[in-house]
Amino acid sequence: MSDTKNPVIYVVDDDAPVRESLALLIRSMQWPVHCYADAAEFLENFDPELHSCLILDIRMPGMSGLELQEELIARGLQVPIVFLTGHGDVPMAVKAIKLGAIDFLEKPFNDQALLDCINKALSEDLNSRSRREQTREVENKIASLTPREREVMERVITGQANKVIAVDLGLSERTVEIHRSKVMSKMGARSLADLVRLALEL
Amino acid sequence: MSRETKSSVAEKDVQAQLDAIFRAAVDGVIVINGEGIIQLFNPGAEKIFGYSAAEVVGRNVSELMPTPDKERHGEYIARYIAGGEPQIIGQGREVIGLRADGQTFPMELSVGDASTDEGNRFVGIVKDITQRRTIENELLASEREHRVLFDQAPVGVFTANLDGTLINYNNIMADLQGHTGQEGVRCEDFVVPENRSRLRRALERLRSGSNDNEQLRVRCQNKHGEEHHVELRMSIIRTSEPFIIGHVADHSEEIAAQAELRNAQRQLAQVGRVATLGEMASAIAHEINQPLTAIAAYAQACQRLIEAADYDPDTINASFSSIYDQAMRAGQVVHRIRAFVRDRESSRTIENINDTVISSVELAQFDATESDVEINLDLSSDLPAVHVDRVQIQQVCLNLLRNAIDALVESKTENRQILILTAALERGVEVSFADNGPGISAAVADTLFQPFKTTKEQGMGMGLSISHSIISNHDGRLYFSSREDGGAIFTFEIPADV
């Protein structure tokens, strides 16, 4: 589990004065900051275990902000992104939002807007971490099922009656009932609805 | 020596000479008597008819003729001797001969008669004209072929005397010029008056022998008054009676296509340069935004740190230094833009400002039409030429036009109109752009030409500033005034060259 009390703010901007001033402003808001001048440096140092968000310049030489966003998605790394945009970058910002960015800040921006964005991004990070946590738990529970139990669960959640499942799998109805109660207890489900909800997490 | 002896010696000489002529003549010489019986048959005749003299002497000459002359020859002679009109004697004509091998052939026959002690004698001189006929026929065929080529050629073709009077010309030529089949038409009647002296000089060069071929591009006007661009090639044929043969190819379509292409390229280049200015503006915006972003962030960071009384004086001090540096950095960008506009290599040409205005209107027309704006022109036809960078002045015009269009659209003005007026000044020209929009408030008017002042949501605030610099570089001025009914007028003046 990551340390949800102590988030880290990543800043990636090729312009040193912008990067450093931003770092100072974020520090003045009492968050630790990690600054990088380009996408490659960030990718090298990014720690997915940390509770964090990313303030990312949309225009950069080499890998642009948008390309870094796509790279993170491709690598399955989930970090909420707030883009920094300039004049005329609206179409790029729209694309970034469609790809899941939290928001964008038009340069120059005021501290309150930055603060709001960071808060929004961090809370999104918490939400997505807890969702991922739940998913991982469900995955673990499913992994603890025997192959037969999994077959039974797959049919139970599609609404098949025990009798039908028994015929389908060539088992007695009684055996199906035993598998079914095993599935319920291993999955920690109190009802059929509960089981369906868990399965949907995946 | 006796007289008689002398005379008989002379007769003998004449006889010998005639004999030599008789034997040496290439033409056939045949002597017949009043009954048509061959008396003499020379070697020329032997060669033409294929008989030896020995074979035919004593036989009737009609054997040398095909039907029907063969049957009628006796009558011809009898009629003549009886005092009838001669058909051949003394005039010569073309008849058909019959060779020993049975072949007939065309021949020219002339006949003379002589009365001798032994009765009537007729002398026929025969020329075989088979070869001449063949050549004539070939010539005729070749002439027909050339006539067809001449008439059906896809280009105008003509022949002319050395003085330029046309001898012959084909239909395409006639179409090009308009007077069909008239006599005494001259080459120069085909071309427009401006091109005539050039054509005359070309003809003179052909006549004088300094050139055998001439090629020139001229314009022709047809009977409908349409102008054609043609390429005229003329060659002199130096025979005993020299003449000129020429052809004319119509290049109008090609030239029109080229002109269109050039026009399109020019417009494209202009649009390209305008777009580049837009890109430059975007790059400038980015460059200005960076230091501004840093300044804002430093300032607010310091404020927060000081408010929280949680700071290290060195940090605050360093931040202020950075704020100063970033402010200077922004200033540098502005200087660079000014320098860019000022130092940009400007290529000045002599222009009629009306042309520049019209081309700018063409570039803005699409925007105007899209935005329901009507652009009216009131251009003075009496303007002095100005020495300007055409593209720069175009950008100024385009900028003023787009500003006017934007103002009309943003204010949702009804019946949106822009009037562009050009006028001559005492020493220069003036161009004004008046719109019927809401005008510009006094407060905004004060900072109109300063960089980064804008009232447009998407604006850069660079247009008027750059325009102002451009006009200043042309030693002119750009200023704003209000219309009585509230619209805005932007006017620039450019001095004319002294």
Q: A174 to each of A163, A181, A190, B161, how far by Cα in Å?
A: 9, 11, 20, 123
Q: Which residue of A has its CA nearest to B278?
A: A88
- The confidence score (pLDDT) of residue A1 equals 44
Helix (H) or strand (E) holding B146: helix B130-152
- The confidence score (pLDDT) of residue B365 equals 79
- For the record, the structure tokens of B69 come out as 């002359």
Q: Are B111 and B28 in contact (CB under 8 A)?
A: no
Q: Is 80 exceeded by the pLDDT of residue B273?
A: no
Helix B252-307 to helix B313-343 angle (10° resolution) is: 160
- Sequence-separated (6 or more) residues with CB below 8 Å from residue A51: A2, A3, A4, A6, A7, A8, A122, A125, A126, A129
Q: Are B416 and B436 in contact (CB under 8 A)?
A: yes
pLDDT digits (tens, 9 = 90+) for B468-484: 888 888 889 999 988 88
Length of chain B: 498
Q: B171 to each of A100, B7, B168, B186, how far by Cα in Å?
A: 76, 72, 10, 16
* Pairwise CA distance, residues A110 & B186, whole Å: 86
User: Chain B: nearest CA to A16, how far in angstroms?
Assistant: 9
Summarize the confidence of residues B265-282 as an average pLDDT. 57
* Pairwise CA distance, residues A139 & A187, whole Å: 10
Chain B residues whose beta carbon lies within 8 Å of the beta carbon of residue A24: 297-298, 301, 315, 319
Q: Are A69 and A95 in contact (CB under 8 A)?
A: no
- The confidence score (pLDDT) of residue B188 equals 81
pLDDT digits (tens, 9 = 90+) for A71-94: 999 999 999 999 998 866 778 888
Any B CB within 8 A of A116 CB: no
| B282 contacts A17? CB cut-off 8 A | no
Q: Are B378 and B419 in contact (CB under 8 A)?
A: yes
- The confidence score (pLDDT) of residue A53 equals 96
CB pairs under 8 A between A and B: 74
What are residue A69's phi and psi, to 5 degrees?
-60, -45
Summarize the confidence of residues A29-40 as an average pLDDT. 94
No. of H helices and E strands in chain A?
9, 5
| B300 contacts A25? CB cut-off 8 A | yes
pLDDT digits (tens, 9 = 90+) for B106-132: 999 988 888 788 788 889 999 999 988
Q: Are B87 and B76 in contact (CB under 8 A)?
A: yes
DSSP for B174-214, written as a single string = HHHHS--S-TT-BGGGGB-GGGHHHHHHHHHHHHHTS-SEE
Q: Are A193 and A200 in contact (CB under 8 A)?
A: no
Any B CB within 8 A of A37 CB: no
SS3 annotation, B80-142 = HHCCCCCCCCCCCEEEEEECCCCCEEEEEEEEEEEEECCEEEEEEEEEECHHHHHHHHHHHHH
Q: How confident is the model at residue B6 (pLDDT cuts 50, 70, 90)?
A: low
Q: Are B353 and B422 in contact (CB under 8 A)?
A: yes
Pairing assessment for the beta strands B417-425 and B428-435 based on DSSP bridges: antiparallel
Any B CB within 8 A of A107 CB: yes
Give chain B's end-to-end CA distance (angstroms, integer). Answer: 114
Q: Is 90 exceeded by the pLDDT of residue B293?
A: yes
ipTM for this prediction: 0.77
Q: Are A151 and A169 in contact (CB under 8 A)?
A: yes
- The confidence score (pLDDT) of residue B268 equals 55
- Coil, helix or strand for B298? helix
pLDDT digits (tens, 9 = 90+) for A129-161: 998 888 888 889 989 999 999 999 999 988 889
* Residue B27, burial from CB neighbour count under 10 angstroms (0-12, 13-18, 19+): middle
- Coil, helix or strand for B450? coil
Helix (H) or strand (E) holding B228: strand B227-237
Q: Is 60 exceeded by the pLDDT of residue B342?
A: no
Interface test with B, best of A85, A87, A114 (most B CBs within 10 A): A87
* Pairwise CA distance, residues A178 & A170, whole Å: 15
Q: Which amino acid is at A99?
A: L
pLDDT digits (tens, 9 = 90+) for B214-236: 888 888 877 777 788 888 899 99
Q: Is 70 exceeded by the pLDDT of residue B23?
A: yes
Cα dihedral value B470, B471, B472, B474, nearest 10: 90
pLDDT digits (tens, 9 = 90+) for B426-446: 889 999 999 998 888 877 777
Q: Is 80 exceeded by the pLDDT of residue B390?
A: yes
- For the record, the structure tokens of B131 come out as 């070869």
Taking the CA of residue B83 as centre, how many other CA atoms within 13 Å lie in the half-sphere pointing to its CB? Answer: 0
| A25 contacts B304? CB cut-off 8 A | yes
Of the candidates B431, B356, B425, the one whose C-alpha atom is nearest the C-alpha of residue B384 is B425
pLDDT digits (tens, 9 = 90+) for B137-159: 999 999 898 888 888 888 888 88
Chain A residues whose beta carbon lies within 8 Å of the beta carbon of residue B292: 107-108
* Cross-chain CB nearest to A24 (options B282, B301, B460): B301
* Pairwise CA distance, residues B431 & B494, whole Å: 9
Q: Which residue of A has its CA nearest to B320?
A: A21
Q: Which residue of B has its CA nearest to A107?
A: B293
* Pairwise CA distance, residues A11 & A21, whole Å: 11
Mean pLDDT of the residues in chain B: 83
Q: How confident is the model at residue A36 (pLDDT cuts 50, 70, 90)?
A: very high
Q: Is 80 exceeded by the pLDDT of residue A116?
A: yes
Least confident of A166-170, B174-178, B208-212, B269-273: B269-273
Least confident of A141-145, B98-102, B265-269: B265-269
| B329 contacts A21? CB cut-off 8 A | no
The percent of residues in chain A predicted with pLDDT above 70, rounded, is 97
Q: B31 to each of A196, B114, B121, how far by Cα in Å?
A: 140, 10, 7
Chain B residues whose beta carbon lies within 8 Å of the beta carbon of residue A56: none
* Pairwise CA distance, residues B59 & B238, whole Å: 53
User: Chain A: nearest CA to B305, how far in angstroms?
Assistant: 6
pTM summary value: 0.43
* Pairwise CA distance, residues B237 & B233, whole Å: 13
Least confident of A25-29, B87-91, B150-154, B464-468: B87-91
| B460 contacts A87? CB cut-off 8 A | yes
Q: How confident is the model at residue A118 (pLDDT cuts 50, 70, 90)?
A: very high
Least confident of A86-90, A186-190, B74-78, B245-249: A86-90
